[in-house]
Amino acid sequence: MITAGPRTAPSPTPLHYEEREWNGLRLLAYDETGDGRIVEALGDVATADHIVVLVPGNDNYLGNYFDPSRATRPRVNGATLLRTMGGISRGERFAVVVWLGYDTPRGFFEGAMRGPAREGARDLVRLTRFLPRDARITLIGHSYGTVVCGLALAEARVDDCIALGSPGMGGSSVADLRYGGNLWALQGEEDWIRFFPRGRLGDIGHGPTPLRPGFGAVRVETGPISGHCAYYTDGSESVRNMARIALGRYDEVTLVDPLTRIPLPRPAVVLSEERIPS
């Protein structure tokens, strides 16, 4: 049985990425120290044309990663998205990476702190450089995971980023995040995150919602989902839109404001190894 360690460990060391099999699973990284970290590949990332990286938020760690009954359950969410992509694909090769590659915060107070996101962003950038250079990469962050994504975007190799129920992304706009790709944002009508404080003082707070006019995100329809953790509901418009974006089918994405200009698909960007942060 896999258990998590106490929350007294120092900052985790950088993850080492390599594809390997472990107990019948396809892993890209695994670390049992502290609360533990795991990065699992669903599908064949080596041959994929499109790769989605799921970045979960608060209260996820190695000890509950394999529990399918939890509300957030990133592993189940990854499988749901993979299945949804398969249902609309036209022969594309694709894979989903479930990236629990950082020490996630616990509870509301820790979730207001930027430190865990800043540390996690470094390893998330390294993952995007590890993945095949000719694949299109889509980051999908949920809740605090959108903060990790936001802080990684300036250096990561990412074509599309999708923010689900975001408390803020660590910047005031796409330009402030120094991101040249497409940012998409989803927030359900019943998501309590709309009440999350939007201020920022030092390392506390994550800035404005990406839904704010002028932020630079395209607001995407979710359909009738409930609460903060239902974005991956099987059969929902929310998960279908994620699959459409991940496969580059932008013209099929349904928007909250249908008059919004749909961005054009972007080719994958190849960055030199010299820019990989330490």
* Closest C-alpha to 78, from 64, 100, 62, 97: 97
pTM higher than 0.85, yes or no?
yes
pLDDT at residue 266 tops 60:
no
Q: What is the pLDDT of residue 271?
A: 36
Residues 228, 191 contacting (CB under 8 angstroms): yes
Rounded distance between C-alpha atoms, residue 255 and residue 187, angstroms: 12
Burial of 207 (0-12, 13-18, 19+ CB in 10 A): buried
C-alpha 130/C-alpha 127 separation (Å) is 5
Q: What is the second-level CATH architecture of the domain 26-267?
A: 3-Layer(aba) Sandwich (3.40)
**For residue 148, what are the CA distances in angstroms to 45, 160, 272?**
22, 15, 22
| Strands annotated E in the chain | 20-22, 25-31, 37-42, 50-55, 94-100, 136-142, 160-164, 182-186, 218-219
State the average pLDDT over residues 103-125: 91
In sequence order, the 6+-apart residues with CB closer than 8 A to the CB of 213 are: none
DSSP H or E segment with residue 76: helix 74-88
- Could you tell me which of 141, 181, 182, 179 has the C-alpha nearest to residue 163? 141
3-state SS record for 89-155: CCCCCEEEEEEECCCCCCHHHHHCECHHHHHHHHHHHHHHHHCCCCCEEEEEEECHHHHHHHHHCCC
Are the C-beta atoms of residues 131 and 108 closer than 8 Å to each other? no
Token pair recorded at residue 182: 């497409």
**CA dist 82 → 50, 70, 139, 181, 202 (Å):** 11, 19, 14, 22, 38
What average pLDDT does range 17-44 have in this prediction?
A: 95
The mean predicted confidence, pLDDT, of the chain is 89
The two structure tokens encoding residue 242: 């994620």
Handedness of CA 117, 120, 122, 124 (dihedral sign): negative
Token pair, residue 85, equals 């992509």
pLDDT in tens, 235-264: 999 999 999 999 999 999 999 987 676 676
pLDDT of 269 higher than 50? no
Report the percentage of the chain scoring pLDDT > 70.
89
Report the pLDDT averaged over residues 40-51. Answer: 97
